């Protein structure tokens, strides 16, 4: 009986070793396998209702980004004007979100989205004066980043905070006056 237990243990150990080896080999093969090919890029317009077109996606993205930026900015503008109190946690959250959102519109104005009203209020000047438009977006992003820094160092509705909020607001107004249908 003792010999049969020893034999069973040897068989079990061999089986475990084989299973472990197979697992290691399969794992190594999976790691060295060639990566799957990247999916094909989405076409500018999709047929058969397979999803929104690139034009529609771009317009919806920029509308959403600008709506959110406006929502987060209003309270900061009120603080800068002195009509609302400064709350550090709220201001920090709003400013961080504006800084993040400021990066989205730059990619949301592809040439195919130059369709005019009623789909968009973006003037054709966005595309005909692209260098100026892109510069204004970069200025907006830089002023959003500056507001993050001012808020982090000054902690309050200081003159520096107010000036940074005003600079950001002027970026919005300048672009709207030039590139948005009223």
Structurally, the chain folds into a number of domains equal to: 2
Tell me the pLDDT of the chain (182 aa) as tens digits: 444 444 434 443 434 333 333 333 333 333 344 444 444 444 444 444 578 899 999 999 999 999 999 999 999 999 999 999 999 999 999 999 999 999 999 999 999 999 999 999 999 999 999 999 999 999 999 999 999 999 999 989 999 999 999 999 999 999 999 999 99
Cis link prior to 11 (omega < 30° from 0)? no
In sign, the C-alpha dihedral spanning 96, 101, 102, 104 is positive
φ/ψ of residue 85, rounded to 5: -75, 155
Q: Residue 41: inside a domain, yes or no?
A: no
Domain with 120, as residue range(s), is 54-179
Q: Are residues 110 and 75 in the same domain?
A: yes
d(CA 104, CA 163): 24
Q: Residue 100: inside a domain, yes or no?
A: yes
Q: Residue 124: inside a domain, yes or no?
A: yes
Q: Residue 79: inside a domain, yes or no?
A: yes
Q: Residue 49: inside a domain, yes or no?
A: no
Output the domain CATH number for residue 88: 1.20.120.10
Q: How many residues does the chain have?
A: 182
Q: Residue 8: inside a domain, yes or no?
A: yes
Residue with tokens 């060639």: 34
Q: Residue 44: inside a domain, yes or no?
A: no
Q: Are residues 82 and 151 in the same domain?
A: yes
Token representation of residue 148: 């993050």
């Amino acid at each position: 009986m003792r010999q049969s237990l020893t034999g069973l243990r040897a068989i079990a150990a061999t089986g475990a070793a084989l299973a472990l080896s197979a697992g290691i080999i399969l794992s190594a093969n999976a790691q060295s396998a060639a990566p799957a090919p990247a999916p094909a890029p989405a076409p500018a317009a999709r047929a058969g209702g397979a999803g929104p077109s690139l034009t529609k996606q771009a317009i919806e993205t920029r509308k959403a980004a600008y709506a959110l930026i406006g929502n987060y900015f209003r309270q900061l503008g009120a603080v800068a004007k002195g009509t609302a109190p400064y709350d550090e946690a709220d201001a920090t959250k709003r400013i961080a979100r504006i800084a993040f959102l400021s990066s989205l519109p730059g990619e949301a104005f592809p040439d195919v989205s130059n369709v005019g009203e009623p789909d968009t209020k973006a003037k054709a000047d966005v595309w005909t004066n692209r260098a100026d438009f892109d510069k204004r977006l970069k200025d907006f992003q830089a002023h959003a980043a500056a507001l993050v820094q001012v808020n982090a160092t000054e902690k309050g509705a200081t003159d520096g905070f107010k000036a940074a909020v005003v600079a950001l607001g002027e970026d919005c107004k300048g672009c709207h006056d030039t590139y948005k249908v009223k």
